[in-house]
A and B are shown apart, each in its own frame.
Chain A
Amino acid sequence: MKKFILKRLGLAAISLFLLSLTIFLLIRISGDPAVLLAEPGASAADLEAIRNQFGLNRPLWIQYVSFISHLFRADFGQSFYYRTDVFELYLSRLPASLMLAAAAMVFSLIIGIPTGIVAAVRVNKWQDSIGKIFALLGLSMPSFWVGLVMILFFSVYLGWLPSSGSGTVLHLVMPAIALGWVFAAAHMRLTRSSMLEVLGSEYVKLARLKGLPEALVISKHAFKNALIPVLTLAGVNLVIMVNTAVIVETVFAWPGVGRLLFEGIAFRDFPIVQASILLGGTMIVVVNLVVDILYAVIDPRIRYEG
């Protein structure tokens, strides 16, 4: 188990290194990095000052070392617009995003897992067809459009829910559904397919041959096995949610990291954009790591492989 965790940590470190290197190189090959790093409308003298500050004339690897050392000190620079430390700004926005992601995740699991199980158990029956249609619709509707249509319907026409902002539970309902919708469909599809696979397995056949009641076969032998890939996906999706929430947060003016990124783009506030990507990527790597380890805890086979 220790070996397993160490190995995963090593892989995560490599991913983080490549992530930082990619961002670093992209900034430098996409044109004059000084223009990006400087505030919009900076003068030639300002640009020169930036070049000196970041040592843009020095060899690339020295620049990279200094880039990394800043990152290790959680120094992502100052926001041009907010005039504050970007890392602190990001942290202050994170709870809102996490809350939205958690709500969306709960929504997606509550909808996705039961429908997936029903569809698998009743494969090729009407329940399955309805499930399939639901899943395909979910995967085919852009989340921000779902959000817009909900605003139109529930806020503008019916006046039931607030169209934007945060503060109450009511504010959370529409963004969570808009964001969770596509994931509900994804979880439903995966639950169905992994459940079908498990239901066709030899050990489920043996469970039936033992004469277990069908309910026990499904709830004990099939469910736990089928849930492993779904929970893995859900773990990965949680981070993807935080990060892809950019558009949904924009639609509903939800004050999370996604909206922060959008503001960064809108105000040409490069330090915010860069920090959002780096921190978002780091979160994905870390959560992937945690999910891998949790996976090993649930599934005894992985634990001993080392």
Chain B
Amino acid sequence: MAGPVLEAKSLTKHFPVKRGILSRQTAVVRAVDDISFSIDPGKTLGVVGESGCGKTTTAKMVLLLEQPTSGIMRFEGQDLQTLDGGTLRAYRRSVQAVFQDPYASLNPRMRVGSIIVEPLVTNESLASAEVRKRLLRLLDLVGLPERSADLFPHEFSGGQRQRIAIARALSLSPKVIVLDEPVSALDVSIRAQILNLLRDLQAQLGVSYLFIAHDLAAVAHMSHTIAVMYLGKIVELGDAETVSKAPKHPYTQALFSAALPSHPDERRDEIILAGEVPSPLAPPSGCRFHPRCPFALPRCSSEEPTLLHESGRLVACHLYPK
């Protein structure tokens, strides 16, 4: 059996905070703190969490837009740190992205055709006829008409733009696509179109997704595995069905109870968390969730829990094992 296509071990990102005239480093934002995960070929890892939990920073590290402070990333078993320039470029080609805002992710001054083939033209020297052929195939793949290629982005609606962004991400036939909130800026009636398209493309092309969203139902719907993050830490990681049907970590439970129902008769235990997410500048000691946790134990404020196996998933909580 083939191993994971992408693997992260103890990935950490600290941002220095500079203040004062001499720009002395006075603090660090612990955006992502020692997280590990892996994505299998053709599968989807969903990452959920609220703002400031580090999910976007994680995406940026995977996309090499941010240099990790420490930790290891392996691509198809090879350590990225030890890769030379050529293989690194191969990694770049294999990992593409679709972002949240379809209005910001397409250059308004370029024609749609050039936008879609830009990664292709940048990385491979192809004859223009071949580029055109691939362009048409990509447009067909995402369900856009041929003539779209000669238009500018402003002539498209949000949903169509997201299709363009997906076509662009697919142009290099990548192994992994990072999807950072790909539907949350879209109209409700369009979201299902895009989610279905993404699922169809995965089935057809065998591409892996790193799916980042705050919409739990969408993540549960799209993912094979779910990682729940809180203040830079993964608090629960496991099979999508297992985690979403019976969450174990108190934060995951609160998050799922806060998710909006799809039917008025759907009643969940209402767990209303007190307070707001603390600043990652000064995360709480011990378990970072303990000041808001309804089940906090004395040791939670001093001892940091590690991810341990519990009922078929990994949970970082002192409540387990029972």
Contact = CB atoms under 8 A, between A and B. Distances in A.
A3 interface: yes
A306 B19 contact: yes
A302 to B, nearest CB: 15
Contacts of A7: 20-21
A297 interface: no
B257 to A, nearest CB: 31
A304 to B, nearest CB: 13
A49 interface: no
A6 interface: yes
A10 B21 contact: yes
Contacts of A306: 19
Interface string A288-306: 0000000000000000001
Q: Which range holds the interface residue count of chain A? A: under 10
A6 B19 CA distance: 12
Interface in A1-41: 3, 6-7, 10
Interface residues of B, number: 3
Contacts of A10: 21
Interface string A68-102: 00000000000000000000000000000000000
B31 to A, nearest CB: 21
Contacts of A6: 21
A7 B18 CA distance: 13
B26 to A, nearest CB: 11
A6 B20 CA distance: 9
Nearest to B20: A3
A3 B20 CA distance: 7
Contacts of B19: 3, 306
Nearest to B22: A10
A96 B21 CA distance: 38
Contacts of B20: 3, 7
A3 B21 CA distance: 8
A6 B22 CA distance: 11
A306 B21 CA distance: 11
A7 B21 CA distance: 6
Interface in A251-306: 306
A148 B81 CA distance: 73
B184 to A, nearest CB: 22
Contacts of B21: 6-7, 10
A306 B20 CA distance: 8
A10 B20 CA distance: 10
B24 to A, nearest CB: 12
Interface string B9-26: 000000000011100000
Interface in A205-249: none
Nearest to A9: B21
Nearest to A8: B21
Nearest to A13: B21
Interface in B114-163: none
A271 B40 CA distance: 76
A3 B26 CA distance: 14
A288 to B, nearest CB: 17
A77 B68 CA distance: 58
A306 B17 CA distance: 13
A6 B21 CA distance: 8
A87 to B, nearest CB: 30
B158 to A, nearest CB: 23
Interface in B9-49: 19-21
A245 B21 CA distance: 35
A296 B8 CA distance: 46
Contacts of A3: 19-20
Interface of B: 19-21
6 contacts: A3-B19, A3-B20, A6-B21, A7-B20, A7-B21, A10-B21
- Kindly list the 7 A-B residue pairs having the minimum CB-CB distance in the complex, ordered from nearest: A10-B21, A7-B21, A6-B21, A3-B20, A306-B19, A7-B20, A3-B19
